[in-house]
Structure 1
Amino acid sequence: MPPQTSPAERALEHMSNAVLLMGADSCVRYINGAAQVMFAVSARQVTGYRLPSHTTPCVRVLEAAARNAIETGEPFTNRELSLEVSPDRRMTVDLTVTPVSHDEVLLEVSELDRRLRITREQNLINQNHATRHLLRGLAHEVKNPLGGLRGAAQLLHRELDAPDLQEYTQIIIEEADRLRTLVNGLLGPSKHVEKQETNIHEVLERVRGLVVAEAPEGVTIHRDYDPSIPTLLAEPNQLIQATLNIARNALQSLDGHGTITLRTRTQRQFTIADVPHRLVVRVDIIDTGPGIPKELQDRIFYPMVTGRAEGTGLGLSIAQTLIHQHGGLIECWSEPGHTEFTLWLPLEADDDNEG
């Protein structure tokens, strides 16, 4: 018969904040579900023991906070504390420590990044919807007169005998074709997503092969894959296109020298655009380039926004649209020497999103 839980324990289990009861010996007396997810441990694994070493240096921070509260007997809160919960994951939290007896303290960890991320991702989704509707209307208005302009230039080209005059009409035709390509890019992908069982690593290996073929000798492509990730329902060509757009941007930012890393991980109980998912795949595309200018970071997913003179500013906008069609999202974090694009994709079956 399973052990009976108290009303207080049941309430703690339903909290979104991580809660631990820690003794003066730094051993865990109680850990709720949110804390188990945050620190990637199970209650059976840590109850009666110290938190495992893979959460170091986060462990040292929590244990020092617990000792301080026991010694002083006073509760305290550390605001906007940076915790490294794993070698590849750092989060910003509010840490509240409350003594409950002479040798026990209650630690409550409230993840600020999650709230900020939900607000930021909703802004990205709203941004994506608004720009797509605006640009599709504008692009349709441009396509019709552009087609007429090209057709008239072709007719004129056939009527002219002088090569120097034909050169001018050829310029008109070529520029009309260039603008048509640009307009089609603004319209973005409109094909309905036909999903199938897709291995994310096959997608990334295809992208890696294309980038390696384009990369100069001074650029290295690293892989850091989690082989346990299951297949997901997706349209593989669209995932390839979205990932390739980001990887090519990374390659161009390196200017012939540096490293690109392709990394995969899973995340449990993750919310995208207010939709909770039991399991999502996280794909990180990391480069060691100069970083994205601060003034562009909030606008990089807008069409026509680019930091390169020769760029169209469409690659990231299209990538965001393609991933959004899969119920996912792309986020970006950048500083000099480290730019990281993260693709979040649900791993469970899901209804198709708007195209």
Structure 2
Amino acid sequence: MIFQHQSLLLENLITAVLVINKEMQVIYANHSALNFLSTGRKQLYRMPINEVFAFASLDKARIVEAFSTQENFSENDVEICLHDEQILHFDVSVTFIDMQGCPSLMIEAKHIDQQKRISQETLQLAQQKAAKQLVRGLAHEIKNPLGGIRGAAQLLALELSNPEHAEYTSMIIEQSDRLRNLVDRLLGPNAVPSLSHDTIHHPLESVYALIKNDNPSNIVIERDYDPSIPDIMMDADMLQQAFLNIVRNGMQALANSHSAIPKLRIKTRISRNHVIRGEKVPLCAMVSIYDNGPGIPPSIRDTLFYPMVSTKPDGNGLGLSIAQNLIEHHNGKIDLESRKGRTEFTIYLPIKKRGVNIHE
């Protein structure tokens, strides 16, 4: 076992520490590691490292090789999925140690999810702001001539003597209206939310009622609600539309997947001291929408919420963009975690005390 004074130092580290023997069994875990794994030291002792996590992107071949070469190594941004399906990210260092003739490896894992999310959120906000400015500029340049084209077609229709030619002016007017509507959708919803205190489960149940009757792929739909979540200030219709867009996105992905049992789950929980747009929010309602589909390609993950970005051949890429705008109207945000077999959108909505305006 690790010497007592060494153990005392490790117990006070914020970094999670595991020590494994040559049989790849855990022989020590410090307090931080036990917290992340939500287990006890007795349950973890002698457990094979492969059974500690449901999934880990850490190269296991390098761990085995480290015993023979006695060389240390590090890997950044290692993804670890716990048995409760929670996904965490760590910077990992592996160090060879000889404990009284017993070759072992000390695995140090520094949790980086919070700093990674803050960095990603800052970058995404800057990118989204630039994209919105670009879209608004393009919309202005498109809508002005469209109005002129439509008006000219209407005047031309009044001058035509041959009724058969009216078909062409009608087509011009129809396509002009279609393009104008598309531009309006690209700009996103501009209506001011009509806010009132309500439970987050109200719009979620409305979404569930819609999708359970429109489920041709027989997707298993699960709900896991926390009834203790306080009411929040919301526009129920706006949130229903946002949740519906995300849920339909998941169901469409499952319909095109090869999952043996396609499953979509809607979960609600409380989140404390979460950072939204650089500010710590004491209390949030957290809505997770999970599916076990093919995952989102890394090539579009960073731009998925941009208008016209879609993984579907016939998709217009507006559903998630609109959902994000609606969540932003509630001072919330959307996080995304995706890999093959698991995609999870997590929506955070601040919980305000009654009498406090959401936009204050």
The answer for the alignment partner of 1:45 in structure 2 is: none
Number of the residue aligned with 2:263? 259
Contact 1:268 1:277 in 2 (8 A): yes
The CA distance in 2 between the partners of 1:151 and 1:297, in whole Å, is 41
Q: Identify the match of residue 345 of structure 2 among 327, 341, 346.
A: 341
> Counterpart in 2 of 1:91?
88
What is the TM-score of this pair, normalised by structure 2? 0.70
The structure 2 residue matched to 1:318, chosen from 322, 338, 346, is: 322
Structure-1 separation of matches of 2:114 and 2:276? 11
* Structure 1 residue 202, shift from structure 2 partner: 1.0
Q: Which residue does the alignment assign to 1:302?
A: 306
Question: Does residue 1:331 correspond to 2:335, yes or no?
Answer: yes
Q: How does 1:211-222 map to 2 (within 5 A)?
A: 211-222=211-222
Q: What is the CA–CA distance in structure 1 between the aligned matches of 2:139 and 2:196, rounded to whole Å?
A: 31
Distance 1:152 1:202, change over 3 A: same
Q: With structure 1 as the length reference, what TM-score do the two structures score?
A: 0.71
Contact 1:18 1:35 in 2 (8 A): no
Residue pair 2:233, 2:358 contacting (<8 A) in 1 also: no
SS of equivalent residue, structure 1 residue 326: coil
- Whole-Å separation in 1 of the counterparts to 2:231 and 2:73: 42
Which residue of 1 is the match for residue 113 of structure 2?
Answer: 113
Structure 1 position 112, deviation (Å)? 1.3
Structure 1 residues 113-142: Cα deviation after superposition (integer angstroms, max 9, x where no partner)? 222111111122222222222212321232
Give, in whole Å, the separation in 2 of the partners of 1:330 and 1:120.
12
Within 1, Cα distance between the matches of 2:74 and 2:168? Answer: 69
**In 2 relative to 1, CA 256–115 (structure 1 residues): closer, same or farther, beyond 3 Å?**
closer
Quote the residue 2:155 is aligned against: 155
Shift of 1:352: 4.5
SS of residue in 1 equivalent to 2:303: coil
- What are the equivalent positions in structure 2 for 1:113-132 lying under 5 Å apart? 113-132=113-132
CA spacing shift, 1:131–1:164, aligned 2, 3 Å: same
Which consecutive unaligned segments of at least 5 residues does structure 1 have?
A: 1-11, 42-48, 63-75, 98-106
The change in CA–CA distance for 1:157 and 1:260 in structure 2 (over 3 A counts) is farther
CA distance in 1, matches of 2:211, 2:133: 32
Q: Name the residue aligned to 2:103.
A: none
For these two proteins, the number of residue pairs brought into alignment is 310
Matches within 5 A, 1:174-189: 174-189=174-189
Alignment partners' CA distance in 2, 1:337 and 1:85: 15
- Following superposition, the deviation at residue 267 of structure 1 comes to 2.0
Post-superposition CA distance 1:64-90 (Å, at most 9, x none): xxxxxxxxxxxx998656555661313
Aligned counterparts of 1:309 and 1:323: Cα–Cα separation in 2: 26
Residue 272 of structure 1: CA displacement? 1.7
Distance of aligned partners of 1:287 and 1:165 in 2 relative to their CA distance in 1, 3 Å threshold: farther
Structure 2, unmatched stretches of 5+, are 1-10, 18-26, 54-71, 95-106
The residue correspondences of 1:68-83 to structure 2 (distance < 5 A) are none
CA deviation map 1:73-114 (0-9, x unaligned): xxx9986565556613131235789xxxxxxxxx98631122
Write out per-residue CA displacement over residues 319-346 of structure 1, whole angstroms, 9 at most, x where no aligned residue.
1122122222112222333222221222
Q: Compute the displacement of 1:160 (Å).
A: 3.2
**Over residues 148-174 of structure 1, what are the superposed CA-to-partner deviations in whole Å (9 max), with x where a residue is unaligned?**
222222333344354432222221111
Aligned to 1:6: none
SS at match of 1:142: helix
Task: Label 1:127 to 1:321 Cα distance change in 2 as closer, same or farther (>3 A).
Answer: farther
Shift of 1:39: 6.9
User: Equivalent pairs: percent with the same residue?
Assistant: 40
Checking the alignment, whether the CA contact within 8 Å between 1:215 and 1:256 is kept in structure 2 is no
1:283 equivalent to 2:280? Answer no
Describe the SS at the equivalent of 1:332: strand
Residue 167 (str. 1) matches residue 167 (str. 2): yes
Aligned-partner Cα distance in 2 for 1:57–1:164: 79
Flag the 1:92–1:151 CA change in 2: closer, same or farther, 3 A.
Answer: same
- Local SS of the residue matching 1:214: coil
CA separation of 1:157/1:210 partners in 2, compared to 1, >3 Å: closer, same or farther? farther
For residues 325 and 150 of structure 1, what CA distance do their matches in structure 2 show? 33
Residue pair 1:127, 1:302 contacting (<8 A) in 2 also: no
| Cα contact 2:34–2:41 (8 A) shared by 1 | no
Q: CA deviation at 1:295?
A: 1.6
1:230 matched residue in structure 2: 230
**Structural RMSD (CA):** 4.0
Q: Distance in 1 between matches of 2:244 and 2:229?
A: 20
Distance, in Å, in 2 between the alignment partners of 1:335 and 1:172 is: 45
C-alpha contact 2:254 2:292 (8 A) present in aligned 1: yes
